[in-house]
């Protein structure tokens, strides 16, 4: 608590408004030992933790994010197990985890709403990650597949909170049908109670959006014997070979995707306030990182179009990342930073790259004066 008090105070002293994320994937081992996010007891533990943070820092912190990239926790952490805690439960694990994360978010939001908001006047949201899903062809099946992909990825978490309080109807229908045909006694997708649906609905002050790239989507009916969140969608994704590549195999440059995603969010969820909490690109670590400078210029311009032409309520934009850092399973091999970090020097000196000067100019001009 002392560390974060000092950090928050120093940020404010430098005219930097803190936006605090409560959970970015670091779960105490003691909680994982009892099942982690698969155990619904964690809802109460998370609420206690959130309450402690609100009471300790809420006099200075006015923007709270409960979870960063809930999808990653559920699917990569408990579905296919490539991220911590490394649980492989593709049939039910990811769905159970997502269910408890949503309930935990809602519980923490309502705690702030009833016990802290009047005095502290802060806001609480959740950050969700989503690539834009573009139909691979103009066919009806591809268009439906792309919409289904968005509902299974973003709608999985967004619809309960920003929509009607429940999972997307297409998701409920698809998972229930697959589960029945696979011999399960009930759907592998958990159900919210009527009371939980009511509590979920509107449990937000803003949406945090992490976005990097676009996928092409077409329908592909998967083998019924494949019991997985992935196969439940009956889709196949790919990338356009014409889109520029990066150091991350999953990330190709396609600026217009972020505008279409923001417009989709506006149309589906009544234009909630949105902060773009992550957007960026990887390279080999060049100091003259022209590709990154171009990426930011193009993507920010598309966000501007979403605001000016589409009427999207975008409240802020944050570049990922301030400096080169550990990119999870990729380690230090992929560089996202505006600042170069010399990891061979014990002092870890930071040096501004070309993109830092370009981005600072965009910020100074509020995104409008730099070409």
- Confirm if 63 and 11 have CB atoms less than 8 A apart: no
Instruction: Give me Rg for the CA atoms of the chain.
Output: 21
Which tens digits make up the pLDDT trace of 81-90?
999 999 999 9
Evaluate whether residue 181 is within a structural domain: no
pTM to 2 decimals? 0.97
Rounded-to-integer distance, Cα 102 and Cα 93, Å: 14
Burial readout 116-143 (b: 16 or more C-beta within 10 A, e: otherwise): bbeebebbbbbbbbbbbbbbbeeeeebb
Helix (H, G, I), strand (E, B) or coil at 346: coil
Q: What's the count of helices (H) and strands (E) in the chain, helices before strands?
A: 15, 11
- Residue 236 φ/ψ, nearest 5 degrees: -135, 135
132 forms beta bridges with 214
Range 78-85 contact pairs with CB under 8 angstroms and sequence separation of 24 or more: 78/36, 78/37, 78/38, 79/228, 79/229, 79/230, 82/329, 83/25, 83/328, 83/329, 84/25, 84/27, 85/27, 85/32, 85/36
Evaluate whether residue 168 is within a structural domain: no
Evaluate whether residue 327 is within a structural domain: yes
- Confirm if 37 and 101 have CB atoms less than 8 A apart: yes
Q: What is the CATH number of the domain that holds 208?
A: 3.20.20.80
Please pick, among 69, 96, 134, 278, the residue that the annotation labels catalytic. 278
**What is the H or E stretch that residue 209 is in?**
strand 206-210
Evaluate whether residue 309 is within a structural domain: yes
Which tens digits make up the pLDDT trace of 179-218?
999 999 999 999 999 999 999 999 999 999 999 999 999 9
Per-residue pLDDT of the chain in tens (371 residues, 90 and over written 9) = 999 999 999 999 999 999 999 999 999 999 999 999 999 999 999 999 999 999 999 999 999 999 999 999 999 999 999 999 999 999 999 999 999 999 999 999 999 999 999 999 999 999 999 999 999 999 999 999 999 999 999 999 999 999 999 999 999 999 999 999 999 999 999 999 999 999 999 999 999 999 999 999 999 999 999 999 999 999 999 999 999 999 999 999 999 999 999 999 999 999 999 999 999 999 999 999 999 999 999 999 999 999 999 999 999 999 999 999 999 999 999 999 999 999 999 999 999 999 999 999 999 988 766 44
Q: Pick from 363, 338, 210, 359: which is nearest to 277 by CA?
A: 210
Catalytic status, residue 230: no
- Confirm if 7 and 61 have CB atoms less than 8 A apart: no
- Confirm if 73 and 37 have CB atoms less than 8 A apart: yes
Tokens 């505008």 correspond to: 259
- Residue 86 φ/ψ, nearest 5 degrees: 80, 30
Evaluate whether residue 69 is within a structural domain: yes
- Confirm if 87 and 77 have CB atoms less than 8 A apart: yes
Evaluate whether residue 13 is within a structural domain: yes
Evaluate whether residue 6 is within a structural domain: yes
Evaluate whether residue 247 is within a structural domain: no
- For the chain, the domain total comes to 1
Domain that holds residue 278: 2-132+189-214+255-364
Which tens digits make up the pLDDT trace of 117-154?
999 999 999 999 999 999 999 999 999 999 999 999 99
Tokens 């003691």 correspond to: 30
């Amino acid at each position: 608590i002392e560390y974060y008090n000092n950090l928050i105070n120093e940020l404010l002293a430098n005219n930097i408004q803190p936006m605090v994320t409560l959970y970015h994937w670091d779960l105490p081992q003691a909680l994982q030992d009892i099942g982690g996010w698969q155990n619904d007891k964690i809802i109460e533990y998370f609420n206690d933790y959130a309450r402690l943070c609100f009471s300790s820092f809420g006099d200075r912190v006015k923007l709270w994010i409960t979870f960063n990239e809930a999808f990653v926790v559920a699917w990569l952490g408990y579905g296919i197990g490539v991220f911590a805690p490394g649980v492989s439960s593709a049939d039910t694990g990811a769905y159970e985890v997502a269910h408890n994360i949503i309930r935990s978010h809602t519980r923490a939001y309502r705690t702030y709403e009833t016990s802290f908001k009047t005095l502290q006047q802060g806001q609480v949201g959740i950050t969700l990650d989503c690539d834009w899903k573009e139909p691979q062809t103009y066919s009806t099946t591809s268009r439906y597949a792309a919409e289904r992909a968005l509902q299974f990825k973003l709608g999985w978490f967004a619809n309960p909170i920003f929509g009607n309080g429940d999972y997307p109807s297409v998701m409920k229908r698809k998972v229930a049908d697959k589960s029945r045909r696979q011999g399960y006694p009930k759907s592998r997708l958990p159900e919210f109670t009527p009371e939980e649906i009511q509590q979920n609905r509107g449990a937000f002050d803003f949406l945090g959006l992490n976005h990097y790239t676009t996928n092409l989507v077409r329908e592909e009916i998967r083998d019924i014997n494949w019991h997985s969140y992935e196969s439940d969608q009956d889709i196949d994704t790919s990338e356009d070979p014409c889109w520029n590549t990066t150091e991350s195999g999953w990330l190709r440059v396609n600026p217009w995707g972020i505008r279409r995603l923001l417009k989709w969010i506006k149309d589906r969820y009544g234009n909630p306030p949105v902060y773009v909490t992550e957007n960026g690109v990887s390279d080999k670590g060049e100091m003259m990182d022209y590709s990154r400078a171009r990426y930011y210029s193009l993507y920010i311009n598309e966000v501007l179009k979403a605001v000016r032409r589409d009427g999207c309520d975008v409240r802020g934009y944050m570049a990922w990342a301030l400096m080169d850092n550990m990119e999870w399973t990729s380690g230090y091999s992929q560089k996202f930073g505006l600042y170069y970090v010399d990891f061979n020097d014990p002092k870890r000196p930071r040096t501004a790259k070309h993109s830092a000067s370009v981005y600072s100019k965009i910020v100074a001009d509020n995104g409008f004066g730099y070409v």
